[in-house]
Structure 1
Amino acid sequence: HPGEMARLAGLATAEVQRDRIGLARRFATEHGVTLVLKGARSVIAAPDGRVYVNVTGHPGMATGGSGDVLTGIITAMLAQGLDAVQAAAFGAYLHGLAGEQAAAARSGNPASLLAGDIIEAL
């Protein structure tokens, strides 16, 4: 989440949004972490400098609990033996795809997605 990333990096949210890929890469390499910077195109950064941009998702996913669902998906991928970068990238992809499917199922009002809708679409 850009606001959370801003607090971690000691920046304004607008600064995070100006260079999401660069900031994610720098933070991940400097701190030796795998990072998922959520947003319209979530950025996944690896400690070795690799960066992936997720192309799945729907604006209706910007709802409370959606990040918790993403965390659960990534944790499930880790439990199945994927390394942290693979789990984060694949988890973000699956999360976004489920969000797209959940939104499509709500043809009348896809903007009103709930975290449970994303889980149900998995």
Structure 2
Amino acid sequence: MLTAEAALRSGAGLVQVATRAEHVAPLLARCPEAMVRSVQSDEDIAALADAANVVALGPGLGQDPWAQQLWRAVLASDSAVVIDADGLNLLAANHVPTRGPRVLTPHPGEAGRLLGMSTRQVQQDRLAAADALAKRFDAVVVLKGAGSVIAAPHAVPRIIDAGNPGMAVGGMGDLLTGVIAALLAQGWSPFDAASLGALLHACAGDAAARAGERGLLPTDLLPELRRLANAGAIA
């Protein structure tokens, strides 16, 4: 749900959340602005994915048979897709090509699994790791961490010089996925959506940390995302 909320705060006009039937009511209670859909079959998710401009895939997904079914159905659609969390773990185990553009947003551990190397090796040369991921999966890559790296095949990489240690908490990456998905839906290219999304996310984190980095929560960034989105940051 953090991904959906971040997408809404970053300007997405209509956000639908595909989930298990038992999760529909609590998710609607958390965020009534999102349209929460129960999906049980390939046909359910294919219909939603085909109607979407962009799909954010991975946060809260899991890796059980239901999750794998949903994951494969999304990758078979023509929609652009932003892949994070368990979406990346499934990709590491089952390299399935997508039909639409894709953005991968791994942290160093996920990047290591995708490349078949250790987290330490990824961190020793983050630029090389991001470039290798972009070429291996023919995708735009946001390698998260201090100085997030944005890479794409045949493009000069970009480094985000913003953000703070307080953002190293669970759920921050879910927000980033939603921001990038929202920018893609608003017409930005995958490389620019990933770059601007990472910058917007980092700057929102810095703004939210004015009261201190310790105890910073992902939800603290949501009002800052909206403020920055309306301050010309994504005009």
Structure 1 equivalent of residue 204 of structure 2: 98
1:18 aligns with 2:124: yes
Structure 1 gap segments, 5+ residues each: none
TM-score with structure 2 setting the length: 0.49
Structure 2 equivalent of residue 43 of structure 1: 149
Structure 2 equivalent of residue 78 of structure 1: 184
Q: Secondary structure at the match of 1:111?
A: coil
TM-score with structure 1 setting the length: 0.93
> How far apart are the structure 2 equivalents of 1:80 and 1:49?
22
Structure 2 equivalent of residue 62 of structure 1: 168
Q: Summarize deviations over 1:6-27 as a string: whole Å, max 9, x none.
A: 1111101100000000111122
> How far apart are the structure 2 equivalents of 1:95 and 1:32?
24
Structure 1 equivalent of residue 217 of structure 2: 114
> How far apart are the structure 2 equivalents of 1:49 and 1:31?
14
Structure 2 gap segments, 5+ residues each: 1-106, 226-235
> How far apart are the structure 2 equivalents of 1:64 and 1:41?
18
Asked whether the 8 Å contact 1:102–1:121 carries over to 2, the reply is yes
Name the % identity. 48
Asked whether the 8 Å contact 1:31–1:47 carries over to 2, the reply is no
Asked whether the 8 Å contact 1:5–1:16 carries over to 2, the reply is yes
Shift of 1:76: 0.7
Q: Secondary structure at the match of 2:214?
A: helix
> How far apart are the structure 2 equivalents of 1:9 and 1:36?
14
Shift of 1:30: 2.8
CA RMSD of aligned residues (A): 1.0
1:5 aligns with 2:111: yes
Shift of 1:50: 2.2
Q: Which amino acid aligns with 2:146?
A: A
Report the structure, 1 or 2, having the larger strand content.
2
Q: Which amino acid aligns with 2:110?
A: E
Of structures 1 and 2, the larger Rg is shown by: 2
Q: After alignment, is 112-121 or 9-18 more displaced? A: 112-121
> How far apart are the structure 1 equivalents of 2:180 and 2:137?
20
Q: Secondary structure at the match of 2:142?
A: strand
> How far apart are the structure 1 equivalents of 2:149 and 2:214?
22
Q: Secondary structure at the match of 1:55?
A: coil
> How far apart are the structure 2 equivalents of 1:56 and 1:47?
24
Shift of 1:48: 1.7
Q: Which one of 122, 125, 140 corresponds to residue 34 of structure 1? A: 140
Asked whether the 8 Å contact 2:111–2:133 carries over to 1, the reply is no
Shift of 1:99: 0.2
